[in-house]
């Protein structure tokens, strides 16, 4: 599907939309207009027909456009700038990030975008154009800013979902210390790392626009692109905080596990200590010492009472000693 929007060059008013490719080829030669062409869910052949036959973009730029990549980039050519950027979405059901590539060609009088899946940022920009085109379409750099601004706004719901998952994991550790959370920790850590890998190169790309490296962006638009860069810095900082939070949750879980192990060891140690008197007494009693009561004594009951009584007194004494020291 190819959508096109033709604007007045001075005021940014929407003149026409969804024109044919033949007419679009004619509009390219009109100095009084500027336009946006959005190519979505099209075959490579149809995309090449527009990117190559109509706009005559560089073959390497077209190759990068059609070949999916996970890394953002920007290249400057003679009359335009080619850029690859990514929109993100976070599914709470699967607990994973999904990325959607957006390829952008920014010229002096045109903006061309190519993406294989429908993007919310593109739909939001079209809605804004329908409501008030002069506010967002006075120039391609302004329209590009609006597109990127909506793209970064879409990060917020994804970040909130990720933050909610981390908070749930932390609550699970506090409420059920013995629960096995290693699988969830690995999953969240992997997704946070993926988010960090997405944001870092995009921040470098937007920073080049914000610093005025490309003349296609007018000087009065630089503060807007600096705002985009600030948003990416904020998102990057959140990714770092999420990574630290997951590490803290993991450390908390390990501490709880160690505390439980220590409790078990403590109980076993106390039980082993309390068993020392009976082991000692029965060991000596088994030696049949002459002056100790034995089975050949006139009262067998007296013999067993003597042994277990002595053992009980020694065990009670040892227990009171442990209690007084606070070891039990």
State the pLDDT at residue 267.
77
Which tokens sit at 46?
């149809």
State the pLDDT at residue 36.
87
pLDDT band at 290 (very low <50, low <70, confident <90, very high): low
122 with 115: CB under 8 angstroms? Answer: yes
Its pTM stands at 0.73
Nearest alpha carbon to residue 236 among 134, 155, 322: 155
Task: Report the C-alpha gap between 279 and 145 in whole angstroms.
Answer: 82
For residue 326, is pLDDT > 60?
Answer: yes
State the pLDDT at residue 288.
55
Tokens 């969240």 sit at which residue?
A: 188
State the pLDDT at residue 223.
92
What's the pLDDT tens digit per position in 138-165? 888 898 999 999 888 888 887 888 888 8
Helix (H, G, I), strand (E, B) or coil at 101: strand
Domain positions in the chain are: 2-257, 275-325
What's the maximum distance between 2 C-alpha atoms anywhere in the chain? 127
Superfamily covering domain 2-257: CorA soluble domain-like (3.30.460.20)
Which tokens sit at 204?
């470098």
Beta bridge partners of 103: 84, 114
Between 303 and 197, residue with greater pLDDT = 197
Which tokens sit at 114?
């190519």
* Mean per-residue pLDDT, 290-317: 67
Q: Would you give the end-to-end CA distance of the chain in angstroms?
A: 75
State the pLDDT at residue 303.
66
* Mean per-residue pLDDT, 2-24: 80
State the pLDDT at residue 258.
78
Q: Mean pLDDT check: name the lowest of 123-127, 134-138, 256-260.
A: 256-260
Between 199 and 291, residue with greater pLDDT = 199
Task: Report the C-alpha gap between 24 and 20 in whole angstroms.
Answer: 6
Between 28 and 40, residue with greater pLDDT = 40
Percent of the chain surpassing pLDDT 90: 5
State the pLDDT at residue 86.
87
Contact residues for 208 (Cβ-Cβ < 8 A; gap 6+): 74, 214
Separation in Å, CA 132 to CA 109, 120, 228:
19, 18, 22
State the pLDDT at residue 117.
84
165 with 92: CB under 8 angstroms? Answer: yes
State the pLDDT at residue 92.
65
Please provide the DSSP assignment of 3-60 as one string: EEEEEETTT--EEEES--HHHHHHHTT-TTEEEEEEEES--HHHHHIIIIIIT---HH
Between 298 and 17, residue with greater pLDDT = 17
Contact residues for 214 (Cβ-Cβ < 8 A; gap 6+): 74, 76, 81, 208
Give the count of beta carbons closer than 10 Å to the beta carbon of residue 33. Answer: 17
pLDDT band at 226 (very low <50, low <70, confident <90, very high): very high
State the pLDDT at residue 314.
79
State the pLDDT at residue 82.
92
Which tokens sit at 178?
């013995």
What's the pLDDT tens digit per position in 84-115? 988 887 666 666 777 888 999 998 888 999 98
Tokens 């073959």 sit at which residue?
A: 59
Task: Report the C-alpha gap between 36 and 137 in whole angstroms.
Answer: 9
Percent of the chain surpassing pLDDT 70: 88
Task: Report the C-alpha gap between 321 and 328 in whole angstroms.
Answer: 9
Mean pLDDT of the chain: 80
Separation in Å, CA 222 to CA 140, 145, 155, 212, 218:
13, 10, 22, 7, 7
Task: Report the C-alpha gap between 157 and 186 in whole angstroms.
Answer: 22
For residue 321, is pLDDT > 80?
Answer: no
For residue 248, is pLDDT > 90?
Answer: no
Nearest alpha carbon to residue 188 among 202, 173, 178: 173
Q: Mean pLDDT check: name the lowest of 37-41, 155-159, 165-169, 251-255.
A: 251-255
Task: Report the C-alpha gap between 27 and 21 in whole angstroms.
Answer: 10
> What are the phi and psi torsion angles at 13 (to 5°)?
-75, 145
* Mean per-residue pLDDT, 224-242: 87
């Amino acid at each position: 599907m190819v959508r096109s929007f033709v604007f007045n060059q001075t005021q940014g008013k929407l003149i026409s939309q969804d024109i044919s490719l033949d007419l679009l080829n004619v509009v390219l030669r009109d100095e009084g207009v500027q336009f946006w062409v959005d190519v979505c869910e099209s075959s490579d052949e149809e995309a090449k027909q527009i990117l190559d036959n109509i706009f005559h973009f560089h073959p390497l730029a077209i190759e990068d456009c059609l070949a999916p990549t996970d890394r953002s980039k920007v290249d400057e050519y003679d009359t335009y700038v080619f850029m690859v950027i990514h929109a993100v979405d976070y599914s709470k059901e699967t607990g994973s990030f999904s990325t959607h590539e957006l390829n952008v060609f920014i010229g002096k009088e045109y903006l061309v975008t190519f993406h294989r899946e429908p993007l919310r940022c593109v739909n939001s920009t079209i809605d804004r154009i329908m409501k008030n085109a002069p506010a967002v379409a006075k120039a391609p750099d302004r329209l590009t800013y609006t597109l990127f601004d909506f793209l970064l706004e879409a990060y917020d719901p994804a970040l909130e979902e990720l933050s909610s998952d981390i908070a749930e994991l932390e609550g699970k550790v506090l409420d059920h210390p013995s629960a096995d959370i290693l699988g969830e920790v690995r999953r969240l850590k992997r997704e946070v790392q993926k988010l960090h890998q997405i944001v870092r190169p995009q921040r470098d790309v937007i920073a080049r626009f914000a610093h005025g490296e490309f003349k296609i962006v007018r000087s009065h638009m630089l503060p807007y692109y600096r705002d985009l860069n600030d948003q990416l810095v904020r998102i990057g900082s959140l990714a770092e905080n999420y990574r630290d939070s997951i590490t803290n949750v993991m450390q908390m879980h390990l501490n709880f596990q160690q505390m439980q192990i220590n409790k078990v060891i403590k109980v076993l140690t106390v039980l082993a200590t309390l068993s020392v008197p009976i082991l000692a007494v029965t060991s000596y009693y088994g030696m049949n010492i002459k002056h100790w009561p034995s089975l050949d004594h006139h009262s067998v009951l007296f013999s067993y009472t003597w042994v277990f009584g002595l053992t009980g007194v020694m065990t009670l004494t040892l227990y009171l000693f442990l209690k007084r020291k606070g070891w039990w």
